[in-house]
Structure 1
Amino acid sequence: MMDSCMFKFFIWGSCILFYLACFSWGFDPADQYYINCGSSTSVTIGSQVFLGDKLASKYLSSPDNILGTTSSNSIPQSDESGLYKNARIFTKESKYTFPISRKGRVWIRLYLSPFVYDSYNPNSAAFSVSIPNHMLLSNFKASEAVRKEFLVNVTSGSLVITLSPSENSFAFLNALEVVSAPDILISDDAQSVNPAVKFNGLLTQALETVARVNMGGPTVTSKNDTLGRTWVPDTKFLLEQNLAESVSKINSVRYPPGGATDDIAPKTVYGTATKMKSEDNPNSNFNVTWVFPVDPGFRYVVRFHFCDIVSDAPSKIYFNVFLDSSNVLPDLDLTTRNLNFLATAIYMDFVTSSISSSKLRVSIGPSPVNDAYPDAILNGLEIMKMNNSLGNLGGMATLPSSSGSGSKSKVGVIVGVIIGVAIILLIVGLLFYIRRKRRLEQLHHSKTWVPISQNASYTMGSKDSHKTTASAGSDIGFRCPFAAVQEATNNFDESWVIGVGGFGKVYKGEFSDGTKVAVKRGNSKSQQGFTEFRTEIEMLSQFRHRHLVSLIGYCDEKSEMILIYEYMENGTLKSHLYGSGLPSLGWKERLEICIGSARGLHYLHTGYAKAVIHRDVKSANILLDETFLAKVADFGLSKTGPEIDQTHVSTAVKGSFGYLDPEYFRRQQLTEKSDVYSFGVVLFEVLCARPVIDPSLPREMVNLAEWAMKWQKRGQLDQIIDPSLEGKIKPDSLRKFAETAEKCLADYGVDRPSMGDVLWNLEYALQLQEAVLHNDPEENSTNIISDLSPQVNNFSHIDSTTSARQHEMSVTDDDLSDVSMSKVFSQLIKSEGR
């Protein structure tokens, strides 16, 4: 054992000596330009001298010579404040040209701050900044002092930076840096996220620094970083600061041979960390999470910096690292990656898929592998935006021409190409429309039986059914003969009916090979039914997701409208909450069902070119398979979302009373946030286990959403929860769940979260619950909810078997047949149409 340790130490020591011999002088930039724009004098920042405009004039080509003075109130108090005192103003396109002696990676840093000079109002400044093949800033407007940092790849002997004022505006610049970066800083490959494959080609990408964070430590300024970078503390990005704590052991950090160096990150970054605040609780089970603002529509390079400065022996902690919901580093053991040496610097790069949200979440949490003590650490983090397919970091703006004389001809070429592409797309679209129309006509009129697709599966649902189907993978994905459907349902035996809705009845069935199915048979006299039948096949056959119910067959023979699904063993979520006599669901089960449903809706909203809005989200349309996996069903009322240049879809109001978005009802303007509102009602329904509309209750309790929101605003929501959950919910979990539901029910859609944000908050509520109730979800906790109010116990006498038509009245003619118009009218005028 001693010989093994001595040999390992010898190898390590030899590598370090070689490493120090090669890198003892650090990185020396071959090219470095520092300019103090708008000033006639130079200024020294740290060890760098920023040349005044006169000395740097040889690099600038501009028709203007306008210098401005920055407002003293806007100058940031930092080591670099001297760079923001002056500004050069550009009213026309201007260029900085720098000779480059060493091709490769180059830093570009732009210092930008509002200023005061004659008639030039900084609020009216709007401009773009570009280099050959890349747009760095597009229509940029500065409201406060910022430093924009870019890392670009220069392949020629010069670098041209072009500033282009927007129409009737101007550009400005306070200071500028162009400095060579070391080759080792960014390698050509990284690990891609979703799908988890190798990403190649980073060297050709332009990158913009979005965040550079020193976890658990103070600000690291440019003068303390070998490459002039600034690292900020992580406290303002932490979502729950009470779940994290800081550690610092800067002197213990060591750099491995051939790995991380001072240029990758300084010891002041690797020597501090943010870790889980486990508080000596071996059952701790939560994530530490940071949230960073990002621009949607781009991919991001995320670099994690790790250094195990908390363990006293190798392989003591195992943890998971998440980018949004993706576990990018499962069961991470830092010491196995460094010959079992502690406090050794390591970094890892990941490339995200295109981000659809304006937030990027990074989380660390414990892994149960090897019964390790629950802990997780992160020392540093860098997030860099990657240029899009057009080479742009600042949007979709057109790159400026390289020469003024040829600009008109190049614009003509660009316009010609755009027009040509538009014509081609128009022709392709027309042909696609004609082909699709013909296929639909065949669908409605054909009497022959041919497969839809030999390998396709289709998402579908059942309206107000208690049991239906899910999961792809069936080999029945075809147009099914009516005789086979008759046989499977015992000739549509009424005793086999498992659900009824506006579209028709749903039957349990079984094919001759033993496959259990649910068969939804449409009412041939219902125009609404025909619309739903067409919508489900035409629109939603393109989707496939684990949490969306899947169509496996259909029948349109003999004027029938029949949809066939796999059988969903545990029926609807609604039937497990009230009215059916089924065993009550535990809190953890309910949270997992809500999370699964949110995933399905999030996919509908974001998984295709245009969002699909469900329009009838309710507990009766959330179905459970044999493992209680939740799947969203019934897409008969679904509608594609607004075009990219629109905010909403104007359409007639459809949905179910009690779940209906009041803003949608008032304005008849549909958005994804209408689904979010309905889902918020479902969340309160899950928590309180009662109908969303119950006319048999006292007036103030009839509408669940209104009633629950009153208790939530009082801070007493725990007084009206399902009695079966008494003593089963951790207060923090209830608080997070209730806050999420409350935000979903905001009066205006713009104030509601996206389904992605709802999903994340529900997952966090589950983590908070599991942190205490780690074992059986039915176990009592010492952190219990207080006794319920007596009025809640009165729910035991409520007749919850009343039909769905009375409590969840769909806004269609068919669904109002069993409801008195006085009741309908009372719901329409109450609380803005809910």
Structure 2
Amino acid sequence: MIKLRSALGVLEILSVLCISLVAAYTPVDNYLISCGSSVDTPVGQRLFVADDSGTVVLTSPASDAVKASPSAVSGLRDDAAMYQSARVFKAPSSYSFRIRDPGRHFVRLHFFPFVYLGYDLATASFKVSTQDAVLLDGFAPPAAARGNASTTTTTTTPAAAVCEEFLLDVARDTLVVTFVPLAGRLAFVNAIEVVSVPDDLIGAADSSLSTSDSTGQQLNPAVMPLQTVYRVNVGGPAVAPESDTLWREWTIEQPFLVSTVTTAVTKKVSYNRTLNYLPGQATADDAPAIVYATGRELIIMNGSVFDGMKQMAWQFDVDGSASYLIRFHFCDIVSSVPGRLHMNAYVDSSNAIQDLDLSAIGNGTLAFPYYRDFVLAASTPSGKLAVYVASTSQKITTPAAILNGLEIMRILTTAGNVAVVEPTTPPGTKKKNNLAVVLGSVCGAFGFVSVAAALVIVLRRKEEKEELRTPTTSQPSTAWMPLLGRISFRSAPPSAVGSRSPSFTIDTNANTPGGGATPGMAAAASSSPSYRFPFAALQDATGNFDEGLVIGEGGFGKVYAAVLQDGTKVAVKRANPESRQGAREFRTEIEMLSGLRHRHLVSLIGYCDEQDEMILLYEYMEHGSLRSRLYGGGAATATATALSWAQRLEACAGAARGLLYLHTATAKPVIHRDVKSSNILLDDGLTAKVADFGLSKAGPDMDETHVSTAVKGSFGYVDPEYVRTRKLTAKSDVYSFGVVLLEALCARPVVDPRLPKPMVNLVEWGLHWQRRDELEKIVDRRIAGTVRPAALRKYGETVARCLADRGADRPAMEDVVWSLQFVARLQEVDGLDASDVSSLNMVHQLMPPTSLHARQRSAGESETGRTDADEDSSVVDDDYTDASMRGIFWQMVNVRGR
């Protein structure tokens, strides 16, 4: 009878799954590769194609295809066919995948060691990396376990198949997965999956639970690589990949469930009705229905008193030095009425979830899928991670608490030493038949000879009629010229750059960030010197990079105060070899700042790339960052006088002008993507300048609305619409700048976990008081008495518009500039009110963008009538034109000549 009831229970659950089934997600990128196989391999409902089929590009100077014997894989389950073949690498090699849908992708690497002729795959040791992150370092597959050799018989337990799963934010059009054998060993792989996932699968973690790791780096899973460590169906059966819309595998909880306290009882529960999927909450792509339809419930008898934390507990083996994203899956399938289930969740000693009332989230709805994320920074080297779910009270009746599923993903915080073997042909190019190649070569050669002969005849006849034109000679290129086009890393001949180290090569036909290089720009470049500083000169200027001269440190590396030989003071930013940022940010910074000049953008002086260094030189900003002047940030600013309200307004207006220039000065807008108070610097006159263009990106063409790209930026400042959709527009910068405006007003960090929960997130806290028209309650007390109510009202309105949920509802940057100018006017003039201006169409002082200037000049319009007032507020300042900047660069670069 008991067995019959169990069978009926299973059938009821399966019926629920069928009823609640939703349309499966269809990935744009869906690569299933059978490595080392010469034929396609069916695995369940999927087909893994041979790695030499042309679907991907295999770049391998030394690899072999190997095949396991049938007996070697006989102990594996239904996917044994996946592990029958493997590709073995004896030298660094790679697979390259064409990416059609930038964004999050699952990358799954399958390993099963077996013996084939002279290859014992169990002895392999290797590294696996992409262009941006090291996925596995020193990886060795699990070997077969052997019995006691002293006995008369020796038993051998077959090695287990391993799937290493990663969730990567792929922003490139090609993903290169590189395998590097270590210490004379081999590398191998049986199968590879590269599959795109829904944009909202991993969003920004709850800001109130965000944290920094031991190095001070913000942990934001929305933009960082993740490695799946555990995925558990709590209280339910194991879930095979075929039963998950994203082909994930869910294990059972028994190996991880630990004993509970004496007075607490738990039991498995299941649900035999339809789940209530709610808009904006979890979907079938977040976890299969079977995960939410089963769970483990905490049962406590009336009158029991016990430890309010450790009631239901699971324990996992982890790397104690790593940080993790923990995702809790909940579905209240045990309550009969709403409002009775209140829960807490803990990770180690951290309070991950407090007083969770699922029925309140669902407006009284029960049995709806829901998940909550928590970020845990590395805290203890014990190697154990404990998860607890408990009731909020110490005297409880049933139901007390429930947990349905649990995911633990390691946050890959550092790139390490990334190895990349670039493909020689584009991914997706099919191999050609040898016969076709031969015939094509013969026909091509014959055609070439015919065309060449005809061309010779035509030229000879033409020479008899007219003289040949004298060819134009070209100027030799230098190592790097400002205002030229795209810069790419290649190995240049020593004679070209005066050094044997890798340098830049310049494509003079490529577009600048704002479009093509004009003839004037090319002429200027041909007569300009190189701005490539020798490493020895920078060692001398910084006292061999003396730690006492460090004035800042970011994701790229440390920034040093330095004095060149001519007495010019500069800021030297040196890349940290262990940083997640590197060559791409270095190149972007030079590309952007070499083609953009404005009084509110930090000027680039030069660069150095000798001895594998990546160093950038900027004009020195005496007063550091806006952040440091608002609420600290180093000894240099510890004793500085707090900025007045007027100085803060001017700094924000100046930064807005710099962003306006980026958005409007070129054919395509330049989107900064990392606008924050620490990237707004103040010179000796407190003039604000936007800095750090390592994440900048060219925006959409005029006939496009957005650019699709992976999410980049700093936690707390990133546009939430950009995070959800991965659609980048100039309005994303407007949102980030709105956060900066709140910082300037309140003088506190954007996210501060030390504060009470309602105050942790500055944006939520500020908008709360703005909606109540009581923004004055959170103004920095040092300036509160000087802020006029009319100015504060207009300032608050500007902040709220910048922080609108939808980009379409946010103002353009030119409107923000005007609004800040108007706030300054309201602050200066007693009795003036925002109602004195009826619209935002009174932007008289802003000059048109550079491209518009050019059109006006071409139409014969004169610029001789510009007044001093026009000059002060113009988007482009004459004293920062390209011609004058060439003179400034010449003086600063020729440090030995002066």
TM exceeding 0.5: no
- Please give the TM-score of this superposition, normalised by the length of structure 1: 0.44
- Please give the TM-score of this superposition, normalised by the length of structure 2: 0.41
Could you say which structure has the greater relative contact order, defined with CA pairs below 8 angstroms and 6 or more residues apart? 2
